[in-house]
Structure 1
Amino acid sequence: MSGFTLEAMLQAELAGTGLLFARIGSALMVLPLLGEAAVTPRLRLFVALALSLLLRPVLAHSLPPLPEEPVALAALVGGEIVIGLLLGSLGRLAMAAVHVAANVVAYQSGLAAAALFDPNEAQPVSPLAQFLGMAALTAILAADGHHAMLLALRDGYERLPPGAPLPFGEAAGLYARLAASTMEVGLRMAAPVLLAGLLVNVAVGLAARLVPSLQVFLLFVPAQILIAFAVAALSLGTVLALMLRHFEGALLLMAGG
């Protein structure tokens, strides 16, 4: 009898851990930091499994009994994978503000032609976008954002327990609002360089009218790039602080706030 009870308890623990792993593992596939292309799948798998084991006692009250029917079990696990992808995509969408800002600045300053392939985005991006992306990830780590992401995943079980109906309608509204906020934040991050570029264009236009013999183009391009870099460097702290506030808002959405 005790052996049967021990075996049943072990099966329940493994089943609960597997159910947690379905959501946590799928979320870590797309979340910033662990979801980057530079992180090996083996490391991502190990972290997801370790988190599932650690959170199993904490979230035991949120886990439903596993159904015996294979179809119902597959639907439950599939729903957890979908929820994990939805939650992780919120963090990834918030990080897109960095690339919006960097691409706007690159096109304004003439750096868009020097695009390099970024494995994280699977497309060519400007060197400034790569730099700002790395700076944003570093800022998230320095601000303890990786722990905040894990806490948001844990708190998400209170809002969306396993077996609950998939909130596709609510998720669509959240994604629409977050996408609009991401575009707004990206443009606000790029605003200092855009303003400096506008002033440079006005100054160059006046110089061309006042001194027609001046080779404006030869002076304009280097000055535009140098001023863009200088303003971006001076405003980097403010830009990263704005990005962190936006990312914090995305984590609140993940946690169901």
Structure 2
Amino acid sequence: MDMIERFAGLLALAFLRYLPVVVLPALTPMRWAPPLVRIVLALGLAWLTVLAMPAQMYTAQAPINWGMAVFGELTIGLVFGLVVMVPYAALHVAGWVVDVQAGLSAGMLFNPGAQGDMQSLLGAGLALLATVLFFTLDLHLALYRALVASTQVLPVGRGGVGLDLDAFLGLLGSSFLLGLMVVAPVMLGLLVVDVGVAYATRSMPQANVYFLMLPLKIVVALLLMVATLPFVPALLNRLFRDAFSRAPALLGL
């Protein structure tokens, strides 16, 4: 009975490690999957993880402080969720910057479905593209391999882990920098258009050049975005793999 209880406890703790990055919609790349599918996948990974653990861990004494063990497992899962969520957030912010520069953000004012929620058109498009490429480039396999390998470095139920603030700030800076690299050609192209608009405004102050040139800026932004698509897979691959490589530092390893 003690062995069964120990196995059940380890299974629950392992499930908590996989919970954030597999089940929670805000952190998992599988947010499009039904909740039942995500829960079953997390339970399957937890079951296989416990079965792969040494047999002597089943007969060991249960953790004295279950609160610390639960906190540690959730922290590890949260770290792996952050290395997925932060790159997505960086891409969304980069798309929002281009929206503002191109004038697409003004279109949200005429969107009756927005209901005051200012959404990013290009940011949402980049997020959808990132989701497709995340699975096309097998980044989900790299993520789950790293998550399973973490059980070898940080055994289930060990506890005593925390989030390193310096490493987290480094993740934010690196991800948002690489996210801006995806849209950098578009931003530079729109800067050239803005210079031309500024010159036209000085030449014809009586004309409302901004609204006259707004369709042109939108067309230029979309054309430049399409022209940079061949380079996006390599940039997104670098963005996510850089975030994955920072997971050990986030855990203080």
TM-score (norm 1): 0.81
Q: Does 1:75 align with 2:71?
A: no
For 2:91 and 2:39, the matched residues in 1 are separated by: 27
Q: Does 1:58 align with 2:64?
A: no
Which residue of structure 2 aligns with residue 3 of structure 1? Answer: none
For 1:67 and 1:245, the matched residues in 2 are separated by: 41
1:206–1:234 distance in 2 versus 1, CA, 3 Å: same
Residues 148-157 or 38-47, more deviating:
38-47
Give the unaligned 5+ runs of structure 2. Answer: none
Residues 98, 243 of structure 1: 8 Å contact kept: no
Give the unaligned 5+ runs of structure 1. Answer: 1-6
Match of 1:216 among 191, 194, 209: 209
Q: Does 1:177 align with 2:173?
A: no
For 1:157 and 1:68, the matched residues in 2 are separated by: 16
Match of 1:33 among 29, 36, 50: 29
RMSD over equivalenced CA pairs, Å: 2.8
- Tell me the number of residue pairs that the alignment of Structure 1 and Structure 2 aligns: 241
Which residue of structure 1 aligns with residue 162 of structure 2? Answer: 167
Using the TM superposition, give the Cα deviation of residue 50 of structure 1 relative to its aligned residue in structure 2, in angstroms: 1.1
Using the TM superposition, give the Cα deviation of residue 87 of structure 1 relative to its aligned residue in structure 2, in angstroms: 2.5
Which residue of structure 1 aligns with residue 236 of structure 2? Answer: 243
Q: Does 1:227 align with 2:203?
A: no
Amino acid in the other structure paired with 2:222: F
1:68–1:167 distance in 2 versus 1, CA, 3 Å: closer
Amino acid in the other structure paired with 1:141: F
Residues 114, 127 of structure 1: 8 Å contact kept: no
Q: Please show how residues 100-249 of structure 1 align to structure 2 within 5 Å.
A: 100-115=93-108, 124-162=118-156, 163-168=158-163, 171-210=164-203, 216-249=209-242
For 2:225 and 2:61, the matched residues in 1 are separated by: 53
Amino acid in the other structure paired with 1:126: S
Residues 95, 122 of structure 2: 8 Å contact kept: yes
1:159–1:228 distance in 2 versus 1, CA, 3 Å: same
Using the TM superposition, give the Cα deviation of residue 202 of structure 1 relative to its aligned residue in structure 2, in angstroms: 1.7
Using the TM superposition, give the Cα deviation of residue 99 of structure 1 relative to its aligned residue in structure 2, in angstroms: 0.8
Which residue of structure 1 aligns with residue 7 of structure 2? Answer: 13
Residues 229-238 or 123-132, more deviating:
123-132
Q: Give the secondary-structure state (helix, strand or coil) at the position aligned to 1:125.
A: coil
For 1:12 and 1:87, the matched residues in 2 are separated by: 26
For 2:195 and 2:56, the matched residues in 1 are separated by: 61
For 1:63 and 1:127, the matched residues in 2 are separated by: 51
1:66–1:41 distance in 2 versus 1, CA, 3 Å: farther
1:63–1:191 distance in 2 versus 1, CA, 3 Å: farther
1:106–1:161 distance in 2 versus 1, CA, 3 Å: same
1:215–1:11 distance in 2 versus 1, CA, 3 Å: closer
Using the TM superposition, give the Cα deviation of residue 11 of structure 1 relative to its aligned residue in structure 2, in angstroms: 3.4
TM-score (norm 2): 0.82
Amino acid in the other structure paired with 2:214: V
1:11–1:177 distance in 2 versus 1, CA, 3 Å: same
1:227–1:76 distance in 2 versus 1, CA, 3 Å: same
1:129–1:62 distance in 2 versus 1, CA, 3 Å: farther
For 2:140 and 2:29, the matched residues in 1 are separated by: 8
Q: Give the secondary-structure state (helix, strand or coil) at the position aligned to 1:32.
A: coil
